[in-house]
Copies of this chain bind each other. A is one copy, B any other.
Amino acid sequence: MRAWRLVEDEPAEPQPGPERPRAVGRYLVVAAVMLVGLVGAGGLAAAQTGMFAERPDGCAQPDRSVQLYAVELPKDGTQTRIGYGLTPETASYPGPLMEMMEGECLAITLHNLVPEATLAALRTNPSHPLGVSLHVHGVKYTQESDGTVQSGSYVPPGGSRTYTWYAQPRNTKTGAQGTAGYWWYHDHVVGGPHGTQGLAAGLFGGLVVRRPGDPKPDRTYTVVFGNQQSINLRRGAAIDTCAEVDPQPGPTCMVARMGERVEFVVVGAGNDMHTFHLHGHSWADTRTGVVSNGQPLADSVPIIDTKVLGPAQTFGVSVVAGESVGPGHWMLHCHMQFHSDAGMSTMLHVLDGNGNMPPGMDHQHAAAAPAAAAAPATDDGTHVHN
């Protein structure tokens, strides 16, 4: 734990990390990353000494560890881009989808590879400390893992810090409500006390916490609606690979076969309101997007195909691709007209059972899906489909 107490003690004058060589090519990567892996130490001592707790109750020992890297990506025009990655080379925005089961405790060590000068340029107030952080929604974490300036839980340039997330389960005896749901994680420090510049740069990603018995998706896509009306969500290294004639699943290409269960992790970011709409499909407005039939109140649950989305709001949509409606290019867009007109629109490409797109209208695809359209990124790394 000592490693990051140093960080807290000197927030305005962070310790410089090891010399950062300038990356050649696409990424700005620190060659040597000093991993700080003190997972599992100190929590009880902190509680006993009256310090802030290091670990959430119920998480004496993390079940799993993940390394996460904050990396500067090539600019989009004048917009600085920073992404999270499970390796420095695969950093992207949104970052990798994280998946947990209720009951699981996850230790994530964040390595800040972003050049100090980049963070300084994004700062809105010269007294604001330089660093990146990991703030998460939905799961349990102590102040040590809050990812905020006032708790000192951020990572200066070149540094590392381990954040602990606990997917607290429902508990009938204690009344704990559980943490299963669709969430996100993001920076809370870059530029100012709410991480607004970090979010604008791309420091965010989706998180799903599942409960035993939840429907299992065949494919999961993270879709983020942000400030720019023509938002363009791509991985850092990815090129838009969504072919018009024979689209195949890829970082920015949402594809599913008929009958597959497709799950969208929908995230709002920035300042604006949006309305998420998917053509031809609908879902139950519940935790998982489905509701079991035959239950007493199942008839009371709204079925919807459009849902309001505000900044930091997250929800999950789960549909069976093409159910009843068949294959095709199904639009997914913000239904605020000025947003969709500005390009906040993309497609779910539903292939037939053989993995082919029926011919007939592929040539018209481009008309409604401009190159600048909202292209969501798929997950990777921690995401395993069963």
Contacts and interface: CB of A to CB of B under 8 A. Distances in A.
Interface of A: 8, 11, 47, 50-53, 56-58, 124, 128, 135, 137-138, 140-143, 146, 148-152, 166, 168, 170-172, 175-181, 183, 192-194, 196, 199-200, 211, 213, 268, 270-271, 273-275, 277, 279-280, 282-284, 286-288, 290-315, 320, 323-331, 333, 335-341, 345, 352, 356, 358-361, 364-369
Contacts of A330: 143, 146
Given A151-B364, A325-B142, A337 B196 contact: yes
Contacts of A329: 143, 150-151
Contact of A171 (B11, B176, B293, B340): B293
Contact of A146 (B151, B293, B328): B328
A105 B333 CA distance: 26
B293 A295 contact: no
A300 B170 CA distance: 13
A310 B193 contact: no
A238 B331 CA distance: 36
B181 A323 contact: no
Contacts of A151: 328-329, 361, 364
A53 B326 contact: yes
Given A341-B194, A361-B8, A361-B150, A181 B302 contact: yes
A277 B340 contact: no
Contacts of A360: 8, 51-52
Contacts of A364: 11, 149-152
B367 A150 contact: yes
A358 B149 CA distance: 17
Contacts of A291: 177, 297, 300
Contacts of A311: 275, 335-337
18 contacts: A11-B364, A50-B356, A51-B359, A52-B358, A143-B280, A146-B328, A152-B361, A170-B293, A170-B298, A176-B324, A181-B302, A200-B337, A271-B338, A287-B299, A297-B298, A297-B301, A302-B315, A304-B313
A273 B310 contact: yes
Contacts of A338: 196, 271
Contact of A179 (B292, B303, B307, B312): B303
Given A306-B313, A369-B150, A324 B140 contact: yes
